[in-house]
Amino acid sequence: MAIFEFDEKTSLVGTVRDVDTRKVSIHVKSDEDLRKAKVGQLVCLEVFSGVETWLVAIVEKVTKSVSLTSAEIIEDDDELEHEGDIEDVINAVRVSLVGSVRWNALENSAGFSRSLMQVPDIDAKAFVLVGNELEDFMNILVSESDTGHSLDLGSYVIDENAHAYLDGNKFFQRHAALVGSTGSGKSWTVASILERAAKLPSSNLIVFDLHGEYKSLSYANQLRVPGPEELGQCNNQILYLPYWLLNTEEMQSLFIDSSSFSAQNQVSKFQESVVDRKTGTLKKLNKKEVLAAFTLDSPIPFKIEDVVADLKYLNEEMVPGAKAGSEKKGPFNGSFDRLIARIKGKLEDRRYGFLFQAPDAENEYGALGSLVSKLMNFEKEKEQIKVIDFSEVPSDILPVMVGLVGRLIYQIQFWTNHDERHPIAMVCDEAHLYLPKKDGKNPVEKRAIESFEKIAKEGRKYGVALFIVSQRPSDVSTTILSQCNNVISLRLTNSEDQTTVKKLLPDSLDSLLDILPIMDVGEALVVGDSVLLPSRIKITPPLEKPLSETVKFWERWSKTNENIDYESVVENLRKQSRS
């Protein structure tokens, strides 16, 4: 049984004229055949071998050029005559090879592979995939990708009747990036993937929600970092992030001004005090094994007020002078004025209450275990998609807080026994806000970037995946994006963003990205390890839509406006809470 039975009258485009690794030029004889080829269409090239094999390619360029042959000079009755130039029309189609279809005699079926065992011969025939042949090819793709670990993302643009499946294993274990201009359908795509993952019996995803877009999803366990109005509340939805979870670099970025002339002394004495206070906690709780191995970065509860007291003592210390009975300023007297003021300012600011006004955990050594259980624990018949609402976290420390959660998840997976690890994926929405390119200027952002770069490079080994979502991929850390072996790109209009995405893909697929500015809302170009064929896919809208719909200005302006209670809005502004 033949894989394809092409009709040369309707499907033949031309013959191979030039081959260069993955690029092939096809010579087309007539204008009628040239019209069969359209940019983005699939083409099959015949391969002469013992087993029926076809090479599959994507049309990149269709050209019709006219060249002039040299004029002929003829001699007639001893006179020279000059014949007119002759037009020579050259029709050509350039394609990029993306895989091969080969008959498998053992399984009595055809299979698709992205590997290329050989390139087409010169003069090999090229056929466009349309009609029944296109349907047969899409059936091959669907049959191979529709497995027990397939992710139904939508339908192929070239054949809307064929479902587009991704390999769910490869999509998450090799990291993924979802990019697209604002309004292109990113939130819909994220919600669509979450909706399908929620149907699995033990899916485990955490969404970093910066704007409260996903708080309406009923199938997700909603967690939120409390704002000023919610301080003191304790329930399964409130997520406090105590300051003692921060490592030394995160604490320094939060409290210490690196530009200060006494920054080195501030760092040294601050660290000494933290170590002393953590040691005191361990001794008090008789945690001898932990005491023998703990470091400055170990998440041990302590009171920040005690650290302030230590610094204040050094800042006001007087030591014996040269003369008997006299005193002089100590070595650090007056050096910590700004540091103490910065710490006190943070402690008194209710916007940072989730850090400093969490329930006292010094005598509750298991507080970290409770926090980790909220983030990672798997319980049957409960929501395993977690959404963490960071919308009320002050922007100046947002990168540190997101980085803290990401680092904590990675460390828990790292220290979990191999056989007990349950894989987890982090959906980093609006990643450009807290994972920007390192420029060495912002120590707060630098801490988060370093945490996630480590996850991007090593997380696969420990069952930690990243799903990076951004409308400005050109602003996201290059190291993190380079580790994303799967790219879902919706419409991108900015040239810098398009260039960034092109750098993530093989050179042979560069031309595919030329369609990014003209794609419709909800259309995506999907490339990577998780998809058999680089494909243009129409994303299936989620049943439960996130709160990210673009405001319809003209439609709203066409209706009578209701009075808004701006006094309440102003109060929300003052108390820094929408509740």
Cα angle for residues 248, 251, 256 (degrees, 5° grid): 115
Residues contacting 343, CB < 8 A, separation 6+? 255, 304, 307, 308, 311
Sorted by where each begins, the domain ranges of the chain are: 8-69+85-145, 163-238+365-548+565-575, 250-339
Per-residue model confidence (pLDDT) at position 378: 56
Confidence of residue 161 (pLDDT cuts 50, 70, 90): confident
pLDDT confidence of residue 83: 55
* Helix, strand, coil abundance in the chain, percent, nearest 5: 35, 25, 40
The one-letter code for the residue type at 38 is: K
pLDDT of the residue at 318: 85
Q: Cβ-count burial of 151 within 10 angstroms (0-12 exposed, 13-18 middle, 19+ buried)?
A: buried
Q: How many residues does the chain have?
A: 579
- Determine how many CB atoms are found less than 10 A away from the CB of residue 351: 17
Please give the pLDDT value at position 401. 92
Spatial separation of the C-alpha atoms in residues 318 and 331, rounded to whole Å: 9
Average pLDDT of the segment spanning 209-219: 91
- At 380 the pLDDT is 52
Say if residue 548's pLDDT is above 90: no
Q: Average pLDDT of 277-284?
A: 89
pLDDT at 439: 66
pLDDT digits (tens, 9 = 90+) for 565-578: 777 777 777 766 66
In angstroms, the CA 486 to CA 501 distance is 11
Please determine, for residue 232, whether its predicted confidence score (pLDDT) is greater than 80. Answer: no
Distances (CA, A) of 153 to 164, 177, 185: 6, 15, 13
- DSSP 3-state assignment of 526? strand
pLDDT for 362 equals 47
What is the reported pLDDT for 15? 93
* CA pair distance 572, 420, nearest whole angstrom: 45
CATH number of 8-69+85-145: 2.40.30
CA distance 246 to 399: 12
Query: Distance (Å, rounded) from C-alpha 245 to C-alpha 404?
Result: 8
Output the CA–CA distances (angstroms, integers) from residue 206 to 221, 238, 391, 392, 417, in the order listed: 9, 15, 15, 18, 21
Max mean pLDDT among 111-125, 395-409, 440-454 falls in 395-409
Tell me the average pLDDT across 205-226: 92
pLDDT, tens digit (0-9, with 9 covering 90-100), for 129-140? 888 888 888 888
Q: Residue 99 — pLDDT band, cuts 50, 70, 90?
A: confident
Find the helix packing angle between 367-376 and 398-415, rounded to 10°.
90
Q: Long-range contact list for 499-502, CB < 8 A, 24+ apart?
A: 499/474, 500/473, 500/474, 500/476, 501/179, 501/473
Which pLDDT score, from 0 to 100, does residue 86 have?
A: 59
CATH code matching the domain that covers 163-238+365-548+565-575, chosen among 3.30.300.30, 3.40.50.300, 3.30.420.40, 3.30.70.260: 3.40.50.300
pLDDT tens digits for 44-77? 998 887 788 899 999 988 998 876 555 555 555 5
Neighbours of 93 (CB within 10 A): 28
- Taking only the tens place, the pLDDT of each residue in 325-353 is 788 888 888 888 989 999 999 998 888 98
- Alpha helix positions (H), 476-524: 478-482, 495-503
Q: What is the pTM of this model?
A: 0.85
Give residues with Cβ within 8 angstroms of 131, minimum separation 6: 10, 11
Given this model, what pLDDT does residue 387 score?
94
Write down the pLDDT at residue 370: 82
Residue 471 has pLDDT above 80, yes or no: yes
Q: Give residue for tokens 């996130």.
A: 546
Q: Return the DSSP state at 563.
A: P
Mean per-residue pLDDT over the chain, rounded = 85
In the structure, what pLDDT confidence band is assigned to residue 383 with cuts at 50, 70 and 90? Answer: low
Would you give the end-to-end CA distance of the chain in angstroms? Answer: 67
> What per-residue confidence (pLDDT) applies to 490?
92
pLDDT score of 456: 93
Beta-carbon contacts of residue 449 (< 8 Å; ≥ 6 apart): 399, 403, 435, 436, 438, 477, 480
Contact predicate 315/337, CB 8 Å: yes
Tell me the two tokens of residue 576. Answer: 């820094």
